Structure 1
């Protein structure tokens, strides 16, 4: 017996919601691991080691699944996202976070989802409904609150602010470039070859990686490998899966859940008890994501008989 279109759509929504959840949880966990690995590895070496671990993991999966090469029409988006997001973003963010305190980094980098919405509307024709804009405004206010509550623990330089800003621009442009490629190639192909392009971009740091790996403690190297296998290989794949089933703007808004999860994970894993202001900011981030993911009910035409409306699964729209 074939599944009904409604059942199929709901199943697709649930899978996309699950994929988006996996992504934000793993990306949040990356901040904890970067603290350890970043103390022993320089920004470029850490990015290259992470990307090599990710590319190797994804490459093995591609071979097992016999994915093959992406079609030629998808390579432009894959190459741009690989250079800007997998490569440039990771180096710029690692470097920038060494120059500014955590709060300043959170403030600057979190303009990324806003840039995604603007670029998505300009180049992809993404709609910008009022609820999406309102949700992003609430989440950004939450990110500012979290950032302000974390600021003051260290100095911030103009170079660090510029690097974090460039990282946000690279992230946004990479996401918008990736979206069309997902319509021409499989999720695994887009992610694998984007990661591989990013690793190639970071090859000039190979000497640093070899030298620093020889001196780094095992824990730092294991954290780098973790970053490659889970927040990169797995999380970027689940991100691409969810992105292929919704707009870039909505997916960008979803990442505002990351600051709230970072606060929670730092509390549990590192014993860093958040203050009331930090908790309030985290709750604002989550509330904004909920608003941005919600839908408005369309008003029925005068005299029309309303149709039964199935329950919508929470998460990215199909």
Structure 2
């Protein structure tokens, strides 16, 4: 008889759910703040708000400094994901239509799976590959259906491609750091590294904040507190308990949630093609994360034996 999944597995799954919901909500806030703040200023303001919140939480919890062995992964992920990714994505999405952005940026999870297999030794089971292919098709369908006939530039495509590469590299670099430091530590100091990298935009941030309407500034602060501070921490918690490829595939749920939130919050009624694309995204995530429990345990366990096959529900990643 198979036991029920363990509490840590439920917590990791819940953390992943919090992450994708908050990252989906970020698109509504970015739409408001991005009309007023330039890409670099928006990234810096978001990272400063996130750093203050995370730093305060670390002080309250007395987390201390991460171990020395965790710093290479923290610095690389901070530079690539918190720094480069946020700036170039903000910039790139101003240059291309939504369909092109969906096509280029959403190769990120595919790159994560490939880099994870190459650099971290993560498995690439057929279900993961099939699910990612389905979700990628859904993400592109959503983007094309919501693009509104916009135009694309070569610079915009290159920026979105750079964002996808930076995202993938940041995630793969973060994974080993999470084996040596806690999720809150890795997120806090990664966010600080990204904020330091974006300090050259401080002048833009100050001048634009002086003229910005209050809702745009509040949306920037929201981006820092929730899609950055909270969602990146829950992401790190879940990533520490699964493979980089499976976590990357989970983010394909974001386009489907964006469609739903735009419908509820902005009154943007999705068309049939948009709904079909969202359904494909969710179906692909379900396929990519539905590995057999026994197979998970055998892959994760170094010692053979029948007892481990019976404990599949409490071992492995979630």
TM-score computed with the length of structure 1 as normaliser: 0.92
Do the aligned partners of 2:98 and 2:144 also contact (CA within 8 Å) in 1? Answer: no
Is structure 2 residue 198 aligned with structure 1 residue 202? Answer: yes
Figure out how many residues of one structure are paired with residues of the other and give that number. 306
Q: 1:216 maps to which residue?
A: 212
Residue in structure 1 matching 2:167, options 171, 180, 187: 171
Q: 1:230 maps to which residue?
A: 226
Alpha-carbon offset, residue 155 of structure 1: 1.7
* Distance of aligned partners of 1:218 and 1:181 in 2 relative to their CA distance in 1, 3 Å threshold: same
Structure 1, unaligned runs of 5 or more? 1-5, 300-304
Query: Tell me, what secondary structure is at the counterpart of 2:142?
Result: helix
2:114 and 2:236 map into 1 onto residues whose CA distance is 19
Alpha-carbon offset, residue 151 of structure 1: 2.6
Task: Give per-residue Cα distances to partners, 1:78-119, cap 9 Å, x unaligned.
Answer: 000000000000000000011111222122110000000000
Q: 1:32 maps to which residue?
A: 28
Q: 1:317 maps to which residue?
A: 317
Is structure 2 residue 265 aligned with structure 1 residue 269? Answer: yes
Is structure 2 residue 289 aligned with structure 1 residue 296? Answer: no
Query: Tell me, what secondary structure is at the counterpart of 1:183?
Result: coil
Structure 2, unaligned runs of 5 or more? 296-305
Do the aligned partners of 2:95 and 2:152 also contact (CA within 8 Å) in 1? Answer: yes
Do the aligned partners of 2:293 and 2:312 also contact (CA within 8 Å) in 1? Answer: no
Residue in structure 1 matching 2:126, options 124, 130, 144: 130
Runs ≥4 residues deviating over 4 A: 305-313
Task: Give per-residue Cα distances to partners, 1:241-260, cap 9 Å, x unaligned.
Answer: 00000000000000000000
Task: Give per-residue Cα distances to partners, 1:259-285, cap 9 Å, x unaligned.
Answer: 000010011111111110010000000
Greater mean deviation of Cα atoms: 143-152 or 279-288: 143-152
Do the aligned partners of 2:294 and 2:310 also contact (CA within 8 Å) in 1? Answer: no
